[in-house]
Amino acid sequence: MSPERSPWIDDELAMLQEHVARFVAGELAPHRERWDRNGQVDRASWARAAEAGLLCASIPVEYGGGGGTLAHEAVIHQELSRAGLGGSFGTGNTIHSAIVAHYILAYGDEAQKRRWLPAMARGERIGAIAMTEPGGGSDLQGLRTRANPAQGGWLLSGAKTFISNGQTADLIVVAARTGEAGAKGISLLVLEGGEAEGFRRGRNLEKVGMRGQDTSELFFDDMFVPAGNLLGSEGGGFALLMHQLAWERMTIALDAVVNMERAVALTTDYVRDRKAFGKTLLDFQNTQFVLADCATQASVARAFADSLMVRLLAGNLDAISAAKAKLWTTETQCKVIDACQQLFGGYGYMTEYPIARMFADARVSRIYGGTNEIMKLIIARAL
């Protein structure tokens, strides 16, 4: 856990931190290498996490969840990252519990919530959200995947890429065009099951980092989607996506902060023990200065992210502030981890050392959730 308690963490959340840390250390962390080899988290691990209360912690009890708030999701997310699982189960569960489940909770009708959320909380259905398209990147208004009207629903055609949980998910929220060009013609459709006619999963994509997190291409060829699987109103999908992205970007910022803190802690331990020229690396002034700078940046990032979490939990976090958090913390994370990795010398390039895996995992944080160039555009438009 972080050295000081964040202002948004009360005694209950502190107890949750301890519970999650113990569970993750004993039940999930030992499987990381296997997840990395297989390119995905196994369903048995999802089931164990559900039994421990790590899935859908912020979903109301009447829908099978833990009855908590986004603060509970943030605590779970951060403890998974602190254990080195942010690039595998951490990201997967955040997509599942803190994003997909909340789309259903916020925009689903009563029947949809009762049909999908309890199964997600039990780990029986794994959630994913499919926005990005080949050649489209962060341009959500330019979506080309189309859902044409059909008797009783729609026929969905198109392709998605870079979809987290794409190989394992069996409940996928798909952004598709059901109307005119631009933002007003986008709707959200929920796909159930993984073997539906007209649906095909592509490759489990080989990535630089986050190797234990399955990331996939998805293809739709006149796949039938029932009318009852529309989430929210037809043509209203873009506004729903924009509303939820602020929280998604905060989870990325929280992950970056934990990774900075973890990098400083790992590196400090290493340089205290490692010797060169008859003294420890920590005895060298350069080492001290590098770590002092990294520790300061981690502390500033923590204060920044915590202040925005307080606003988010009070219901007044705006999209611009969330973009600033995502931009600055992910850029700074990469600088801090790079500086720390350098102090490990050649060992910092060996994947058996956590700092090497952190270096590879961190790079994508400046890309997903909207690239940092898009974050700059959002911020600049408000100036």
Among 164, 177, 165, which residue's Cα sits nearest to residue 220? Answer: 177
234: annotated active-site residue = no
Catalytic residue from among 248, 261, 331, 373: 248
Collect all residues with Cβ–Cβ distance below 8 Å to 346 and sequence separation of at least 6: none
Cα distances from 330 to residues 307, 366, 367, in angstroms, run 17, 6, 9
Give the active site residues: 248
